[in-house]
Structure 1
Amino acid sequence: MLSARAAAPAPAPAIRNKRAIISRRKLSGDLEELLATHGTGEGLRPALIAALRGTLAAGRAEIRARFDAEGSGESCVRETCYLADRLVGTLADFTVQHIFPSANPTAGEIFDIVATGGYGRGELAPCSDIDLLFLLPYKRTPRVEQVVEYMLYILWDLGLKVGHAVRSVDECIRQSKADVTIRTAVLESRYLWGPGKLFGELRRRFDKEVVAGSGPEFVEAKLAERDNRHLKMGDSRYVLEPNLKDGKGGLRDLQTLFWIAKYLYRVEGVDELVGKKVLTPEEAQRFAKAQNFLWTARCHLHYLTGRLEDRLTFDVQSEIGARMGYTEHAGTKGVERFMKHYFLVAKDVGDLTRIFCAALEAESKRPPKFNILRLAALARRKDVDGFIVDGERLNARDERQFKDNPIDMIRLFHTAQQHDIDIHPAALRAITRSLSAIGPKLRADPEANRLFLDMLTGRKDPEITLRRMNEAGVLARFIPDFGRVVAQMQYDMYHVFTVDEHTLFALGILHKIEAGELKDELPLCSDVIHKVVSRRALYVALLLHDIAKGRGGDHSVLGARVAEKLCPRLGLTAEETETVAWLVRWHLAMSFTAFKRDLEDEKTVRDFVSLVQSPERLRLLLVLTVADIRAVGPQRWNNWKATLLRELYNRSEELMSGGMSGEGRVRRIQAAQAALRAELTDFDDAAFDAHLTLGYPAYWLAFDAETLAHHARLVRDAEREQRPLTVDTRIDRGRAVTEVTIYATDHHGLFSRLAGALAACGADIVDARIFTMTNGMALDVFSVQDAAGGGAFESGDKLAKLSVMIERVLSGHLKPLQELATRRTTASSRTRVFHVPPRVLIDNNASTTHTVIEVNGRDRPGLLYDLTRALSNLTLQISSAKISTFGEKAIDVFYVKDVFGLKVTHEAKLAKIKERLLHALADPAGDVPPPAAVKRTRRRPETAEG
């Protein structure tokens, strides 16, 4: 049998000083010496493994040193592949010649070894699998089986992950016809070892019997495979923890492009596609740059984790960004700069795969000349607003159309939107080549701006059109301020998408609200939006609401300035411009007020109304706020947020119309009590009147009639049985929470102990409403979720444990701190990579009766317990609390009074509150609160929403 040394093609010349990685001659000599020392006896195998392991380790160390010094992923994967090639080839030689020698092997005993998969492409990441095909002439023989088994066990003992197949040429051809995955493996297979005759036969037969005439089928299968993979990975390239290999915009998308091109054009490298006129030199360069970036990040990921890993998780993003040279710049974190570059590369990959896969698909399906169907298609071509319809897709008249008439790049998308027609890949490619023509002249063109505004504010869904414009690069060039937030990420666990992706999603949601598609989920918004007068201003404001993120300042203030300059250019009136700028400036005000302030406090609503001033702005702000929150990411919107926003809207509207006076509040309380009376048919008048004496005014307005009735029965039963403690749980699937109602004797620190008990049994508190009744009992209602997996506590054992834990903590038989210590050590470490600066803001202007304390910090098990314990130890009374969590960030607001029932105004006391809360915010695992001065100013509306 010929050795691979004689038959193998020359290694890639780009690998320099190959012998420093592995010297095949030296390794072969070492193995010969082992043979001379041990013979073929039992001592040979461990010595052989030790020698190969040493060679492998030395080669890997050399490759790692080069990678650390130069940072080229492309070089790393080729050098790792070269090391594997030489190792496998040397082992094959040794096995065939010395372990199972045959002086005159039969035809059935001669085989080739072929590399497949990524290894077949000559790309092997540090911890990736090695895929081998043992190619036989026909059926297996005993000697071949012995050789294959011996080699595989040696490779596995070296710690290599080896996938393998043993097939004849006939089997490869037959299975390639039936299975597109095997067909792809054969397509990118690479000769590795052996005489090479079988591999040559396989390639010839594969081209003739499988590839010939099957181009359209293969293209369709690979594109469908790509789409299915995208769906499994979330169907967005802008996710928090992207998959470098299989995610949208990852390496697999580039490979799909190459597979299709190789299948149709029979090329061996991307550069050859330039000669085939499939790619331009610039596009081939984009392909190479994107591939090298992704390979570099993936190699860093493998080296950092020490395993086969493709997800850029939170805990590695910062380190990999630092290793790739991304440092903090202009107020932007290094990790954010790295991830922005990643998203831009992913977008670039998306551009290439979308445009060129579609172009190749069209090419592969093109009928031959003079085909009757082709002539019919030509006859059906027609002009539409200066463009032609080609294969049911809108195309440019010629390649120079966009360079000669840049406005046609805007008009193309407008026409496609108006006629509900897709855009031809050739037109998208022509746009890519003409983007430089979009400059100040086009941006100032009134007609171009009219077309854009019509696309944004017309009756057709703007999300689809603007997404196409964004993918093509037109949107960023036409509105440079938007270009600055393309691929702009925020390094946290709350915001799921990049700023541009979030904005486009929000516009799509706004369109659905207006079209009535979300009427069941958002009844108030779906009604209110049709009362809006400034409809164009609403759409433009939503487009611009986050446009100034990443500039190092308050994005609401900076965004308003962008709006003041951009809106007149787009053709908005002075009144519309003022409205847009106001909405951008205050787009967080409604969520801030609803989620962080006590809506039962009349001053809260009055302050909000004094900011909004008009019913029109109230309507605009409501719709914008809802669309913004829903577009943040999955599960960021829930019924509880909807309830708070609806309550704020209704109370603000009532105040604007002259309501919400003292008499108005009395009427609302009377209405709530009347609705409660209708629910409590099992109460006689005396019992009902007695129950009404228990609640202070705020209580009757805090819940719906059904919940108030549930409380009434709970209180009646507890009083009748003289129970000192009642714990009731109800599952609210609409809000995905378990509602825990506790009726107990009120005492100082009760809220803190309850928070500790809930945290100790694995409950995350997402909302808390605290009421002291006139009989000295406390009625506290907590909305909790399961900390382990989110969602409500539903299983009977968990609910039982929750009740027992509360009883044991309140009776003093259990200390929450002891239980929480265990939870904190086992809690997920993913949030630990995020730094959330601890902050305490004290506001004595937000309420007429209470001091409002807002606390920001990194969330952890038992944080609310630590905070409320600190407040209780300061002898403060907690009247109500607003509990919010945005990913890794906790934002909790407490309405407190001092021991005399008054606001806290003494400077020393305020400083003490600040100090104690900062200490409570410090994570026991290592966070140290920085020194900070007490802030007591009225804080601008700001929240993690949007």
Structure 2
Amino acid sequence: MNVRANIPAAPDDPGKRIVRQRDIINRRALAEEIEELIAEHGMPDARSKILPLLQNALSDGRAEISRRLLKRPSAGHEMAAAQSFLVDQLVRLIHDIAVQHQYPVGNPSSGERIAVMAVGGYGRGEMAPHSDVDIAFLTPHKATSWTEQVVEAMLYWLWDLGLKVGQSSRSIDEMVRMAKSDLSIRTALLEGRYIWGDTGVYEEAKHRFFQDVVAGTDSTFVAEKLAERDLRHKKMGDSRYVVEPNVKEGKGGMRDLQTLYWIGKYIHQVASAEDLVEVGLLTADEFKRFRKAANFLWAVRCHMHDMTGRAEDRLTFDLQPEVARRMHFADRPGKSSVERFMQYYFLNAKVVGNLTGVFLAHLDETHNAGVRRFLPSLTRKPKKLKGFVLDRGRLALPDESFFEEDPVRLVEIFWLADKHGLEIHPLAMRAARRDAKLIDNKVRTDARANKLFLDVLCSPRDPELVLRWMNEAAIFGRFIPDFGRVVAQMQFDMYHHYTVDEHTIRAIGLLARIGRGDLAADHPNSTATMEKLQNRRVIFVATLLHDIAKGRGGDHSILGAEVAMKLCPRLGLKPHETELVAWLVRNHLLMSAVAFKRDLSDFKTIQDFASQVKSVERLRQLLVLTVVDIRAVGPGVWNSWKRQLLTDLFEAAQEMLLLGHKQRGRKQRIDEKKAVLAETLNLPEAEFRKLAKRFTDPYWIAEPDDIIAQNAQLVLDAGETNLAIFGDVYAERGATLITVYAADHPGLFYRIAGGIHVSGGNIIDARIHTTRDGMALDNFLVQDPHGKPFSEDGQVDRLKQAVEDALANRSKLSTKLEARPLAHSRAGAFAITPFALVDNDASNRFTVIEVNAQDRPALLNELAYALFESKVTVHSAHIATYGERAVDTFYITDLLGSKITSKQRLNGLQKRLTKAAAANPDKVAA
């Protein structure tokens, strides 16, 4: 075998792809200036004058590339090549200075030769403005003192220019040995490109690399590279639809495209990505899509580097609006410019995923390189496959016109995959993607096609996996056009972690897992409830449709219900099922809003909620939909606190709906709780009666038995002391319970809130009580900034001490609060106009005020202080956070315990709270 004949040509000099090169950097003119300076001052002294010359050349070159980027904001490849060209010229100048002037040799020996090679992305001739400069210094034999001096001199020049250099200095033998043992070194050298120096050394190194390292190891390389990719995806969230994607390393990002090229080059020794077409790994059309996606990703990455002045590869919320503006995305009805830009980003990420599947299929067919490592275990092969064939356990097509003959097969292939637990052959997926346009209104209204789709959607097996395949092949969006409108659509906020389509598919997957009982430990109530549902397909269809109308410029719940009324009959649902789905979609946010923003101990809260729900079946369906909707938002959003609140609301509403007006009376509930407490404390009867009499009826109704027992013990232990603080983990609610028993006085609430925040805690719920003898008994549920309870003794002690210090006014609270860091460093990217809503109908006893604002440190403290200044009494506070948005609800009365009804006073209260809620209060009108 003639290995040398298979060695690819060196990648093109990036300069060949650039117009007006000398506007970026004029190496010849710079070389002449450097020669003159050295001639005039001599080498050691000239260095201090040459360095500013090179620094200015780098700065001016970057400025020119930046100007070109702003003028042609989508020219990603051109800008990446321009940056590589700029660095090339500087490296060449520096090489010549080091070799010809710093360490010149008149008659170099065979060992005094050196080649400078670009590796990695730099070797490919593609760099973002602040990418690392990855260089390999190659010598024919073991390094001599001369080569060590030259390398050191060059590195000092590069470092002094402020470049981040990734470098290696090796002999050719060392290079071969290291490349054999290290995958990352082998990958970097795969894209090696000659920059400057001894061409003979470079050519010999390239020959040895492909002869001694690459030859015969392609299967191992492919397996290792794909394993590396899977690990990277897992680290980055294992979804290409996370709303703050890593453009370089994330799933569907640049590294995925580069991996395809590396594999193709390793196996077929191609010189460029274009050559993947010649060797049959991509079609010409697929390569165009490859090139277009890579160009877009390079443009985005170059903008990010240019804007931040650093190597920034994560497309964070604070960068997204400016990149969208630079790339000329504009607002449209229902979608902001940034949401349109990010949708386009995710569509490109989807293209990358599609290309990866096709590429690996070709590789599997032509090379059998160990690509298919995860075949499903099949107990038996189905005998009838409706005309489809099995290819090594995967569903494949008998011929290329199979879908065209009957387009319903485009849905049927996924139904078969789900029913029989089969993979779909990547070439069949490719054909489905190609033929997706065959799905027209005739197919959409075909009863058989709709039944097949509904079977997949409601599958007890793994609908998430199969629906994701349908989405990747564009079949999902073609068959359900309303779903197609939300494919790759993101919401510009810090609450939703995924695009709308990804969120929906994840929610359906969770629904199936709950239905199978797989998540009984996390969702015991939902698991038990789902077993009692009269109609399971209603909940699956409602989950599919709950967010389907997002981005249309109106209330997505109302618009989604309209979609349901039209789509459900097409899918084969009966009129009563259609009506229930539409109701669930219209009200899918109702249960979470009541549970998280209202006082569940207030009888009217439950009464109003039950009157809206009307039936137990609706309640059960709504509970399960609410749970999967929240859980599918993203990691860390669901917690035991939310589970408990939803369970409390569900049980109270179910009792009311089942028993109607026969629910337990207020006095009966209080008597039952007193009986439980008496048994727990085991006090003498007279002493217990004296203690129980101190607690008001609203207290008995509001608090659960375990909190009442803890509170009572605290009161007993405190005796005549007028301050006692309790703190401990409340595992059942996923938080730390802080109880304050103190002499009641105005401002107590805001001081406690401030003390908790100073210690790093976030209050998620607060119940404020006053005993009949004038003592405050306040219960706070507190979490750390990550939504977890403070569990270590030292942490709880610090919480208690901070509250005690705040109440004793030992240190200036406002100064400590100002010193706390911001909760969300990127929250400034969002503009949330604060507002306060007053509701005098939500409770029979209290005025309810809901404040919406941008979340920030000490927000609750400032709102509590505004309420203190307004001379009102706070009875309970309910804190809900949705990413960057906080919704804090307060149940209040005037100082005499009555609702506030004066319009003038309510208006003043709204204005004061709105001002306190503003990030910059001076910007809000008083």
TM-score (normalised: structure 2)? 0.94
Q: Do residues 465 (structure 1) and 466 (structure 2) align?
A: yes
Tell me by how many angstroms 1:448 deviates: 0.8
Q: Look up the SS of the partner of 1:191 in the other structure.
A: strand
Q: Look up the SS of the partner of 1:832 in the other structure.
A: helix
Q: Look up the SS of the partner of 1:134 in the other structure.
A: strand
- In structure 1, what is the equivalent of residue 191 of structure 2? 188
- In structure 2, what is the equivalent of residue 370 of structure 1? none
Equivalent AA in structure 1 for residue 691 of structure 2 = H
**Take 2:672 and 2:606, find their aligned partners in 1: how far apart are those partners?**
20
- In structure 2, what is the equivalent of residue 3 of structure 1? none
- Listed as ranges, the matches of 1:699-710 within 5 Å are 699-710=699-710
**Take 2:864 and 2:592, find their aligned partners in 1: how far apart are those partners?**
24
Equivalent AA in structure 2 for residue 396 of structure 1 = L
Q: Do residues 90 (structure 1) and 93 (structure 2) align?
A: yes
**Take 2:292 and 2:70, find their aligned partners in 1: how far apart are those partners?**
19
**Take 1:386 and 1:674, find their aligned partners in 2: how far apart are those partners?**
70
**Take 2:424 and 2:359, find their aligned partners in 1: how far apart are those partners?**
13
Q: Look up the SS of the partner of 2:170 in the other structure.
A: strand
Pair 1:363–1:694, CA change in 2 (3 A)? farther
- In structure 1, what is the equivalent of residue 264 of structure 2? 261
Structure 1: 5+ residue stretches without partners = 1-6, 368-376, 932-946
**Take 1:842 and 1:348, find their aligned partners in 2: how far apart are those partners?**
48
- In structure 2, what is the equivalent of residue 875 of structure 1? 871
Q: Do residues 728 (structure 1) and 730 (structure 2) align?
A: no
**Take 2:354 and 2:694, find their aligned partners in 1: how far apart are those partners?**
65
Tell me by how many angstroms 1:382 deviates: 7.7
**Take 1:298 and 1:9, find their aligned partners in 2: how far apart are those partners?**
22
Q: Do residues 928 (structure 1) and 926 (structure 2) align?
A: no
- In structure 1, what is the equivalent of residue 337 of structure 2? 334
Task: Map Cα deviations across residues 772-830 of structure 1 (whole Å, 9 max, x no partner).
Answer: 2222212110111234x553334555444433333333334444333223226x66532
Q: Is the 8 A contact 2:334 2:554 kept in 1?
A: no
**Paired residue for 2:843, among 844, 847, 853?**
847
Q: Is the 8 A contact 1:679 1:706 kept in 2?
A: no
- In structure 1, what is the equivalent of residue 298 of structure 2? 295
- The root-mean-square deviation of aligned C-alpha atoms, in Å, is 2.2
- In structure 1, what is the equivalent of residue 212 of structure 2? 209
Q: Look up the SS of the partner of 2:17 in the other structure.
A: coil
Task: Map Cα deviations across residues 548-573 of structure 1 (whole Å, 9 max, x no partner).
Answer: 11111111100000000110111111
- Listed as ranges, the matches of 1:866-945 within 5 Å are 866-924=862-920, 928-929=923-924
**Take 2:235 and 2:890, find their aligned partners in 1: how far apart are those partners?**
42
Q: Look up the SS of the partner of 2:249 in the other structure.
A: coil
Q: Is the 8 A contact 1:897 1:903 kept in 2?
A: yes
**Take 1:514 and 1:703, find their aligned partners in 2: how far apart are those partners?**
32
Tell me by how many angstroms 1:381 deviates: 11
Higher mean displacement: 322-331 or 570-579? 322-331
**Take 1:486 and 1:498, find their aligned partners in 2: how far apart are those partners?**
7
Q: Do residues 777 (structure 1) and 775 (structure 2) align?
A: yes
Tell me by how many angstroms 1:198 deviates: 2.6
Q: Do residues 822 (structure 1) and 815 (structure 2) align?
A: no
Q: Is the 8 A contact 2:477 2:483 kept in 1?
A: yes
Tell me by how many angstroms 1:328 deviates: 2.0
Tell me by how many angstroms 1:630 deviates: 1.2
Tell me by how many angstroms 1:366 deviates: 6.9
**Take 2:155 and 2:732, find their aligned partners in 1: how far apart are those partners?**
55
Identity within the alignment, %: 48
**Take 1:823 and 1:803, find their aligned partners in 2: how far apart are those partners?**
18
**Take 2:492 and 2:849, find their aligned partners in 1: how far apart are those partners?**
26
- In structure 2, what is the equivalent of residue 555 of structure 1? 556
Q: Look up the SS of the partner of 1:693 in the other structure.
A: helix
**Take 1:439 and 1:673, find their aligned partners in 2: how far apart are those partners?**
67
Q: Is the 8 A contact 1:651 1:660 kept in 2?
A: no
Q: Look up the SS of the partner of 1:514 in the other structure.
A: helix
Q: Is the 8 A contact 1:381 1:389 kept in 2?
A: no
**Take 1:382 and 1:143, find their aligned partners in 2: how far apart are those partners?**
73
Equivalent AA in structure 1 for residue 716 of structure 2 = R
- In structure 2, what is the equivalent of residue 583 of structure 1? 584
**Paired residue for 1:809, among 785, 789, 806?**
806
- In structure 2, what is the equivalent of residue 66 of structure 1? 68
Task: Map Cα deviations across residues 232-289 of structure 1 (whole Å, 9 max, x no partner).
Answer: 1121222232211111111111100111111222222222222333222221121111
Pair 1:100–1:219, CA change in 2 (3 A)? same
Tell me by how many angstroms 1:177 deviates: 2.3
Q: Is the 8 A contact 1:321 1:335 kept in 2?
A: yes
**Take 2:850 and 2:156, find their aligned partners in 1: how far apart are those partners?**
62
> In the comparison of the two structures, how many residue pairs are matched?
907
- In structure 2, what is the equivalent of residue 541 of structure 1? 542
**Take 2:151 and 2:815, find their aligned partners in 1: how far apart are those partners?**
58
Tell me by how many angstroms 1:385 deviates: 2.6
- In structure 2, what is the equivalent of residue 715 of structure 1? 715
Task: Map Cα deviations across residues 650-696 of structure 1 (whole Å, 9 max, x no partner).
Answer: 11111122256575443333333333233223x22222222222222
Q: Look up the SS of the partner of 1:807 in the other structure.
A: helix
Equivalent AA in structure 1 for residue 356 of structure 2 = T
Q: Is the 8 A contact 2:824 2:856 kept in 1?
A: no
Q: Do residues 400 (structure 1) and 401 (structure 2) align?
A: yes
- In structure 2, what is the equivalent of residue 633 of structure 1? 634
Equivalent AA in structure 2 for residue 805 of structure 1 = A
Task: Map Cα deviations across residues 83-117 of structure 1 (whole Å, 9 max, x no partner).
Answer: 11122122222322232222321222223211101
Q: Is the 8 A contact 1:95 1:147 kept in 2?
A: yes
Pair 1:210–1:399, CA change in 2 (3 A)? farther
- In structure 1, what is the equivalent of residue 514 of structure 2? 513
**Take 1:39 and 1:783, find their aligned partners in 2: how far apart are those partners?**
73
Task: Map Cα deviations across residues 689-729 of structure 1 (whole Å, 9 max, x no partner).
Answer: 222222223323434433322111111111x2x11111111
- Listed as ranges, the matches of 1:50-449 within 5 Å are 50-71=52-73, 72-365=75-368, 384-449=385-450
- In structure 1, what is the equivalent of residue 854 of structure 2? 858
Q: Is the 8 A contact 2:510 2:628 kept in 1?
A: yes
Equivalent AA in structure 2 for residue 63 of structure 1 = I
- In structure 1, what is the equivalent of residue 374 of structure 2? none
Tell me by how many angstroms 1:425 deviates: 1.1
**Take 2:663 and 2:383, find their aligned partners in 1: how far apart are those partners?**
69
- In structure 1, what is the equivalent of residue 3 of structure 2? none
**Take 2:665 and 2:527, find their aligned partners in 1: how far apart are those partners?**
27
Q: Is the 8 A contact 2:15 2:82 kept in 1?
A: no
Tell me by how many angstroms 1:500 deviates: 1.1
Tell me by how many angstroms 1:870 deviates: 1.6
**Take 1:704 and 1:902, find their aligned partners in 2: how far apart are those partners?**
25
Task: Map Cα deviations across residues 351-402 of structure 1 (whole Å, 9 max, x no partner).
Answer: 21233234324432179xxxxxxxxx9xx99862321111222111222222
- In structure 2, what is the equivalent of residue 23 of structure 1? 26
**Take 1:842 and 1:168, find their aligned partners in 2: how far apart are those partners?**
76
**Take 2:740 and 2:603, find their aligned partners in 1: how far apart are those partners?**
27
Tell me by how many angstroms 1:8 deviates: 11
- Listed as ranges, the matches of 1:573-722 within 5 Å are 573-658=574-659, 661=662, 663-681=664-682, 683-718=683-718, 720=719, 722=720
Equivalent AA in structure 1 for residue 137 of structure 2 = F
Q: Is the 8 A contact 1:254 1:287 kept in 2?
A: yes
**Take 2:76 and 2:673, find their aligned partners in 1: how far apart are those partners?**
67
Structure 2: 5+ residue stretches without partners = 1-9, 371-377
Q: Is the 8 A contact 1:760 1:820 kept in 2?
A: yes
Q: Look up the SS of the partner of 1:197 in the other structure.
A: helix
Q: Look up the SS of the partner of 1:892 in the other structure.
A: strand
Q: Is the 8 A contact 1:15 1:79 kept in 2?
A: yes
Q: Is the 8 A contact 1:8 1:192 kept in 2?
A: no
Q: Is the 8 A contact 2:77 2:295 kept in 1?
A: yes
**Paired residue for 1:46, among 45, 48, 58?**
48
TM-score (normalised: structure 1)? 0.92
**Take 2:253 and 2:338, find their aligned partners in 1: how far apart are those partners?**
19
